[in-house]
Amino acid sequence: WEHFEIDGCHYLVVANYANDSSVSVDSQIYRWAGASFAEFQRIPTYGASAWEHFEIDGAHYLVVANSYDGSSQSIDSQIFRWTGSAFSELQRIPTHGAHDWEHFEID
**What tens digit of pLDDT does each residue of 59-79 get?**
999 999 999 999 999 999 999
AA letter at 56 = I
The confidence score (pLDDT) of residue 54 equals 97
Maximum Cα–Cα distance across the chain: 46
The confidence score (pLDDT) of residue 107 equals 87
Which H or E run contains 54?
A: strand 48-56
Q: How far, in Å, CA of 38 to CA of 18, rounded?
A: 21
Q: Which residues of the chain have pLDDT under 70?
A: none
The pTM score is 0.94
24-32 and 37-46 as β-strands: parallel, antiparallel, unpaired?
antiparallel
